[in-house]
Structure 1
Amino acid sequence: MWIKICGLSTQAAVDMAVASGATHIGFVFAESKRQVTPEYAKYLAKNVPKTVKKVGLFVDEDLAVVQEIVAKVGLDMVQLHGQESADYAAQVSVPVIKAFGIKDGKIPDAIADFKAHTILLDAPPAQFAGGSGQAFDWDKVDLTALDGYRFFVAGGLNPENVGQAIAIFKPTGVDVSSGVESEGVKDLEKIKKFILKVRRQ
């Protein structure tokens, strides 16, 4: 199963995620308290093995800027959290993860336009686009709408509830950011615990 630790901004957190078995690590380039510069992300990513996918998170960014950061950092995937179209996603030079906020358990019809890509199911954004750290209504989601999709589940996951999320959704992967933090900072023990919990499913 894919395990993505997102919003990484320290070398220690990157190293722990990689050492513990994360398959994807995420850097936020959109406005956020976890935002990093392309230069710093490149520095953090320099020793990440090729087996771990480096993902850049963007929100309605100019396509040329995205392509430039992909090249500069050496990103393997781009995660889109805004109103980007399927046409936009098709022009990105690396594989795309397209995020959708799930409200009242409804899977947006627009996911059909992104079937060629990976989908990310998240709670609707709060202060910043890119996830709120809150869970959406898992039990209200019509799982048949996800047949044939590669998808991550995100939003409010933590070491305590990720097993339940996996049991309900049987996703391709899980994605966590605030759920492995203490007081807004990545907690190395929580990262390790989260990944271990997923591996045991």
Structure 2
Amino acid sequence: MTQIKLCGLTREEDIAAVNRWRPDYIGFVFANSRRQVTPEQARHLKAGLDPHIKSVGVFTNALVQSIIELCETGVIEVVQLHGNETEEYIRALKQKTTCFVIKAIRVQSTEQILQAQKLSCDLLLLDTYQKGLYGGSGKTFDRALIPTLHKPFFLAGGLESGNIAQVVEECHPFGVDVSSGAETDGLKDETKIKRIIEAIRSIG
């Protein structure tokens, strides 16, 4: 079953919606973004989250210790690195936490993805490259660039209910990561969340 991650939750209404429709993961963005939340906000939202749904913290070039604190206090269970983090950074992080680590790659070439799978992260996240942005562009990339990978990966970039099932059947990702495709006017939309999850679940 393809895993579903809904990223960029910021409100109690978002938590209520995901508790009803049950994606596998949700994301709290701690990086600079219009969806950014503070550790205190994330802690409050996590307290209301169904325990069967894993919480992911999204970071861009953050201090390792700040990530560790969120892991140790249970605010997040998975770390997603969306910046220029190196293999040394990932290794240092994994030495200090048992949380799974996802490394996001802003795809520009097949060779770039093949190199990325050598990193010691647990999963990759393949997203759209857009100059000046670390993610959340809502735009697609050429998925023909994705090679056969032995490391599991999430797929992001321009996914929404109308295209997500076809993309999964073409690319066979471990999971999909949706943010702007589940929003209306910049806020999470429960109807869109429902449609995305139903589209994925329908393909088994």
Tell me if both proteins adopt one fold, taking TM over 0.5 as the criterion.
Answer: yes
Provide the residue aligned with 1:20 in structure 2: 21
1:46 maps to which residue?
A: 47
1:149: which partner in 2? 151
Note the residue ranges of structure 1 that are not aligned, 5 or more in a row: none
Matched residue type, 1:82:
G
Instruction: For 2:196 and 2:116, locate their aligned partners in 1 and report how far apart those are by CA, in whole Å.
Output: 28
- Structure 1 residue 195, shift from structure 2 partner: 0.8
Among candidates 177, 186, 189, match of residue 188 of structure 2: 186
CA distance in 1, matches of 2:173, 2:120: 15
Tell me how far 1:87 sits from its aligned partner: 2.4
Q: CA deviation at 1:170?
A: 0.7
Stretches of 4+ aligned residues off by more than 6 angstroms: none
Aligned counterpart, 1:56: 57
Instruction: Determine the C-alpha separation between the residues in 2 that align with 1:48 and 1:125.
Output: 32
Amino acid of the residue matched to residue 172 of structure 2?
Answer: K
Aligned to 1:98: 103
TM superposition shift of 1:7:
0.4
The DSSP-based 3-state class of the residue aligned with 2:9 is coil
Instruction: Provide the C-alpha distance between the structure 1 equivalents of 2:4 and 2:32, rounded to a whole number of angstroms.
Output: 23
Amino acid at match of 2:198: L
Aligned equivalents of 1:126 and 1:27: distance in 2?
23
Aligned CA distance change for structure 1 residues 126 and 160 (closer, same or farther; 3 Å): farther
1:160-183 Cα distance to aligned partner (Å, 9 max, x none): 010111011111100000011111
Sequence identity percentage: 36
Amino acid aligned to 2:197? I
- Measure, in 1, the Cα distance between the counterparts of 2:24 and 2:156: 15
Q: Which residue of 1 aligns with 2:117?
A: 112
Q: Which stretch shifts more, 100-109 or 171-180?
A: 100-109
1:32–1:128 Cα contact (<8 Å) kept:
no
Aligned counterpart for 1:135 among listed residues 121, 131, 140: 140
1:156 is displaced (CA, Å) by 0.5
Q: Deviations over 1:92-132 (max 9, x none)?
A: 31110100011256543431332551100000145531331
Within 5 A, what are the aligned runs for 1:82-93? 82-92=83-93, 93=97
Aligned to 1:158, what secondary structure does the other structure show? coil
Shift in Å, 1:49:
2.9
Asked if structure 2 preserves the Cα contact closer than 8 Å seen for 1:3 and 1:174, the reply is yes
Unaligned runs of 5+ in 2: none
Compared with structure 1, are the counterparts of its residues 56 and 125 closer, same or farther at alpha carbon in structure 2 (3 Å cutoff)? farther
- TM normalised by structure 2 equals 0.90
- Please, what TM-score do these two structures have when normalized by structure 1? 0.91
C-alpha RMSD of matched pairs (Å): 1.7
Aligned counterparts of 1:14 and 1:106: Cα–Cα separation in 2: 38
* 1:28/1:57 contact within 8 Å kept: yes
